[in-house]
């Protein structure tokens, strides 16, 4: 066994997942921008025949961002944070290194196959669970491999205390394993009946049961892909970057168990005013409101970590990214519970306020935190100074403006939609036809598309900065202790 003084961390897997984070981020966000412009200008749907239509591209966007960009970022940060916090190196175990490499290879193949099958229209049509059964089996294999790597690393640790970030990553692994297995139970039709495509399957659930399982999964995919591992990231990277201790370790643990117990019951808020039993709808609403407490507990803990050190916001764009990520997390986790209140849901459901809420979280919280994590890791995995601080600063402001344009336009569009759909004349007839609402919303769709385009421009700047850091940043003779070294 090596001593701590000689411990050499192995970043080969971290670099591989960093590459896929950027690659799938570009693909997912580019498709998202195309979709946003299609909504504003429908004629753009006809540019590539059936392969360019909204219905084909939309699952490609959601899967590309959720399971391409975000999961890659989670895996990259796990293999980085895990080694450092557990005081072990992957190169100490040939078995774990092989598992990690296999994890990456099968993951990469799965995402590429997902791109091809979704473009071809091969889909289960279940939200966030569109991949057909052969790909589902692949997902299960590499998810188990991640678990083997994770618990193998924990088993080899030299650090007796398991830092809170590790708890958040573990929760992500365990919860998604359970959610994915139950929601994606399906029967391959050709294998059972002898008819149809080999790729086609039918869900094992029907009707209301299918909806219940789907939104138990769908909402908790947000919980354990977009939330818990990202909290795990910020609990490591914010103290590291700022040189500050986490404000309250007790609060981090309290918020962790609060999220675990409450989040799993909130999915019913997607099914308010449906055929789902009323008590389940009410439970979804109540649990969503209770969810404010652990969510804000985490966010406030992050913000208070900077107590007495707020001047760092002026000098470090990386701290800016992380603090604004926490702020968007607070915004998103108050907005969701408000939308889950039945009277508000009557106006909000099926409107553009819902994607507005989702993108607060994805662009502001998940996007900013993932990019901040990669920026922090870059000098340490490539042993080079960040190429350009000014480029990072410019990227921050462009993407902040982008998010504000996005969610404000969607708030206005969504509430306008909801009110127009409910408007009656003196005879009790609907005041507006559906096409009236579409016409009114066109300017807001255009603003949303411009916001998305600006965010994509910022992401290209991020990709360029990381590329230049890896290839031509000033070589560092020793690893930085706190803040990342950056060229001006």
Q: Is the pLDDT of residue 2 over 60?
A: no
Determine, yes or no, domain membership for 104.
yes
Asked if the structure places residue 198 within a domain, the reply is no
DSSP 482: S
- Among positive and negative, which fits the CA dihedral 98, 99, 100, 104? positive
Q: Which domain holds residue 254?
A: 7-191+203-472
Q: So what's the pLDDT on residue 3?
A: 46
Q: Which of 307, 451, 466 is nearest to 392 (CA)?
A: 466
Q: Quick one: average pLDDT of 100-118?
A: 97
Per-residue pLDDT tens digits for 367-402: 999 999 999 999 999 999 999 999 999 999 999 999
Mean pLDDT of 3-32: 91
Q: How far is CA 240 from CA 209, 322, 323, 373, 400, in A?
A: 45, 12, 14, 10, 23
pTM: 0.96
The average pLDDT across 314-325 equals 95
Neighbour tally for 390: CB within 10 Å: 11
Number of domains in the chain: 1
The answer to whether residue 325 is domain-embedded is yes
CA dihedral 396, 229, 81, 76 (to 10 degrees): -70
- Res. 194 pLDDT band, cuts 50 70 90: confident
In a domain, 270, yes or no: yes
Do 20 and 108 meet the contact criterion of CB atoms below 8 Å apart?
A: yes
Cα(81)–Cα(83) distance, rounded to whole angstroms? Answer: 6
H helix intervals, 185-227: 189-193, 207-225
pLDDT the model gives residue 46:
85
The whole-angstrom distance between residue 212's C-alpha and the CA centroid of its chain comes to: 22
DSSP string, 446-464: HHHHHHHHHHHHHHHHHHH
Would 317 be classed as within a structural domain? yes
The reply to whether 342 falls in a domain is yes
pLDDT digits (tens, 9 = 90+) for 327-353: 999 999 999 999 999 999 999 999 999
Q: Looking at residue 178, what is its pLDDT?
A: 96
Across 212-226, average pLDDT: 95
CATH number at residue 235: 1.20.210.10
Query: Does position 225 have pLDDT exceeding 90, yes or no?
Result: yes
Over 80: is that where the pLDDT of 125 sits?
Answer: yes
What's the pLDDT tens digit per position in 140-184? 999 999 999 999 999 999 999 999 999 999 999 999 999 999 999
The band of 1, judged by pLDDT with boundaries at 50, 70 and 90, is: very low
How many angstroms separate the CA atoms of 348 and 337, rounded? 12
Give dist(CA 384, CA 381) in Å, integer: 8
pLDDT reported for residue 482: 85
Burial class (CB in 10 A: 0-12, 13-18, 19+), 206: exposed
Instruction: Please report whether residue 209 resides in a domain.
Output: yes
pLDDT by residue (tens digit) across 439-488?
Answer: 999 999 999 999 999 999 999 999 999 999 999 989 998 888 888 999 87
Does residue 482 belong to any structural domain of this protein? no
Considering the chain, what percentage of its residues have pLDDT values greater than 90? 93
Neighbours of 234 (CB within 10 A): 28
pLDDT of residue 5: 53
Say how many Å lie between the first and final Cα of the chain, rounded.
Answer: 41
Dihedral sign for Cα atoms in the order 189, 192, 198, 204: positive
């Amino acid at each position: 066994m090596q001593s701590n003084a000689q411990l050499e961390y192995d970043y080969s897997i971290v670099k591989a997942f960093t590459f896929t984070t950027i690659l799938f981020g570009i693909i997912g966000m580019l498709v998202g921008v195309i979709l946003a412009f299609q909504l504003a200008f429908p004629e753009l749907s006809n540019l590539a025949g059936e392969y360019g239509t909204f219905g084909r591209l939309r699952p490609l966007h959601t899967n590309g961002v959720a399971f391409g960009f975000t999961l890659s970022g989670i895996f990259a940060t796990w293999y980085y944070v895990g080694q450092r916090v557990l005081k072990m190196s992957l190169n100490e175990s040939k078995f774990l290194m092989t598992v990690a490499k296999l994890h990456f290879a099968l993951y990469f193949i799965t995402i590429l196959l997902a791109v091809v099958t979704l473009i071809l229209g091969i889909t289960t049509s279940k939200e966030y669970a569109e991949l057909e059964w052969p790909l589902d089996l692949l997902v299960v294999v590499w998810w188990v491999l991640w678990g083997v790597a994770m618990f193998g690393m924990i088993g080899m640790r030299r650090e007796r205390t398991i830092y809170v970030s590790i708890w958040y990553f573990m929760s992500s692994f365990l919860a998604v394993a359970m959610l994915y297995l139950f929601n994606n139970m399906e029967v391959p039709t050709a294998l059972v009946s002898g008819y149809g495509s080999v790729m086609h399957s039918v869900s094992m659930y029907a009707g209301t049961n299918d909806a219940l399982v789907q939104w138990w999964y769908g909402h908790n995919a947000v919980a354990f892909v977009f939330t818990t591992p990202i909290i795990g990231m910020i609990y490591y990277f914010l103290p590291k970057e700022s040189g500050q201790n986490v404000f309250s370790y007790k609060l981090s643990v309290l918020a962790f168990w609060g999220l675990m117990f409450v989040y799993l019951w909130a999915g019913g808020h997607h099914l308010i005013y449906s055929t789902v039993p009323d008590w389940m709808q009410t439970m979804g609403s109540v649990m969503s409101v209770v969810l404010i407490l652990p969510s804000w507990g985490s966010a406030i803990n992050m913000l208070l970590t900077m107590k007495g050190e707020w001047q760092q916001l002026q000098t470090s764009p990386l701290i800016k990214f992380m603090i604004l990520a926490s702020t968007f997390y607070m915004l998103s986790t108050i907005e969701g519970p408000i939308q889950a209140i039945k009277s508000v849901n009557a106006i909000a459901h099926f409107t553009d306020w819902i994607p507005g809420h989702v993108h607060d979280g994805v662009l502001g919280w998940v996007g900013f935190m993932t990019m901040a994590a990669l920026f922090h890791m870059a000098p340490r995995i490539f042993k080079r100074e960040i190429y350009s601080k000014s480029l990072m600063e410019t990227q921050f402001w462009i993407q902040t403006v982008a998010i504000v344009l996005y969610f404000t336009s969607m708030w206005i569009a969504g509430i306008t939609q909801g009110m127009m759909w409910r408007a009656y004349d003196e005879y009790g007839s609907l005041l507006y036809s559906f096409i009236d609402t579409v016409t009114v919303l066109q300017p807001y769709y255009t603003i949303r598309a411009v916001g998305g385009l600006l965010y994509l421009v910022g992401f290209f700047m991020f990709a360029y900065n990381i590329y230049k850091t890896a290839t031509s940043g000033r070589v560092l003779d020793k690893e930085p202790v706190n803040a990342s070294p950056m060229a001006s």
